[in-house]
Amino acid sequence: MSGRMSGSLGAADVARSVSAAAGELTRIWRQVLHETGRATSPGLIDGVVPDFLERIGSAVAGGAPGGAWPETQGVVRVGPDRAATVRELELEWRALGAVLSAAAESLGGTPSAAEAVAATAVAARLDAPFVAEGRGPVGVVVVRYLKRPQG
């Protein structure tokens, strides 16, 4: 026994709460990235995280946790090295998934509610290889940044 108490709040209620707290959860996600010493600041997905979080409520309540990402609007930055960009995108989505899981638990969500809310970030993370090639959802603009010359 882990000592944790299971919550009673369902997935739709947790997801709506997450959407309502999009600004605060974005701040927490940025802090998590900062604490991990990420070389890329702001995060590559920084331009889509607030809108993505706002869309979680309707996606999860509608029974389609994977639906938040295709409806998201904003800007994702990608670097010149595709493999490094994919790794960074995946890391940032994993960090957001961890923030979402912690938020669901903090809100008193059931384990299945936490899983449903975190699944939204998993769906987006799985799209990272396509985004790194400039092929994101319709509402997402992918901008490739170039390294500045040394010297």
Determine contact, residues 45/89, Cβ cutoff 8 Å: yes
Burial environment of residue 16 by CB neighbours within 10 A (0 to 12, 13 to 18, 19 or more): middle
Dist CA 142 CA 145 (whole Å): 10
Q: Are strands 140-144 and 74-78 parallel, antiparallel or unpaired?
A: parallel
Q: What is the pLDDT, as a whole number, of residue 151?
A: 43
pLDDT digits (tens, 9 = 90+) for 5-35: 567 899 999 999 999 999 999 999 999 999 8
Query: What percent of the chain stands above pLDDT 90?
Result: 81
Q: Choose between 7 and 102: higher pLDDT.
A: 102
Q: What is the pLDDT, as a whole number, of residue 19?
A: 96
Domain ranges of the chain: 11-144
Q: Is the pLDDT of residue 122 over 60?
A: yes
Q: Is the pLDDT of residue 139 over 80?
A: yes
Read off the pLDDT of each residue in 104-126 and give the average, rounded to a whole number.
Answer: 94
Binned at pLDDT 50, 70 and 90, residue 40 comes out as low
Q: What's the mean pLDDT when you consider all of the chain?
A: 90
Read off the pLDDT of each residue in 41-53 and give the average, rounded to a whole number.
Answer: 93
Read off the pLDDT of each residue in 119-146 and give the average, rounded to a whole number.
Answer: 94
Give the global pTM. Answer: 0.89
